[in-house]
Amino acid sequence: MGSIVVIGEQVRLRTIDTVTGEALTELAVRGIYDPSWQPFGVPWTDDAPDEMRRALPTFYASTIHSAVPERWELPMAVEHEGDLIGFAKIQASDISASGRFSTGSWLGLAFQGRGLGTQVRRACLAAGFKGLGAQSAHTQANANNAASLGVTRKLEYLASGHFELEIRGEPMTKLEFTMQREHWREEVWREDFTLLGFEPFRTFLGLSVEP
């Protein structure tokens, strides 16, 4: 697929190489949230640091190499003012037919509370809507994840459902949200993102060259 980059005024997203994958792992080991609670459906941050150092770089690499047009994830490193600050991804199943993609992200503790999470989400939406020509974006968050839900509500997603799961042996509600292309174009998009490397990615996914 080659290198993919999304450049905004405050954040820069780029595909993950081996060195960056290791650096992201160390950022995660230093902490993403107060360990007294768990914001992720799959509690990978509960793993011991050595296990995270073993598993995460392999996960990033395998995610990229195992992508097929019918089902893929695009993991990206997030940078702010030259610092590596977090992780973001867009993903989809058969986007050429469904026109649908999903987003996810996390930031290191030291970079939270500055509004950067909103900018990362906007960058992911630009990647899916502008870069790939998608028709709808979807996101999920645990009901106790106030930061993620704050970004989702700020950008005025529509609630689209919920389901129950178990995390650390306790019940949790996962909330689902949707944004349509029209809302993104009229209310969210700003002409401040530069997208690089999307043409070969669109070809790989079986999409038209121009979204």
Q: What is the 3-state secondary structure (H, E, C) of 61-73?
A: HHHHHCCECCEEE
Q: What is the pLDDT of residue 210?
A: 67
Looking at the chain, the number of H-run helices and the number of E-run strands are 7, 9
Whether the Cβ atoms of residue 167 and residue 101 lie closer than 8 Å to each other: no
* Whole-angstrom Cα Rg for the chain: 16
* DSSP letters spanning 87-123: EEEEEEESHHHH-EEEEEEEE-GGGTTSSHHHHHHHH
Dist. CA 91–CA 137, nearest whole Å: 10
The answer to whether the CB of 130 falls within 8 A of the CB of 211 is yes
The two tokens of residue 74 are 């695009």
pLDDT 10s digits, 103-127: 999 999 899 989 999 999 999 999 9
Give CA 172 to chain center in angstroms: 21
What is d(CA 60, CA 25) in angstroms, rounded to the nearest whole number?
10
pTM comes to 0.92
In the chain, the domains with their CATH numbers are 5-205 (3.40.630.30)
- Residues of the chain whose pLDDT is less than 70? 1, 41, 209-211
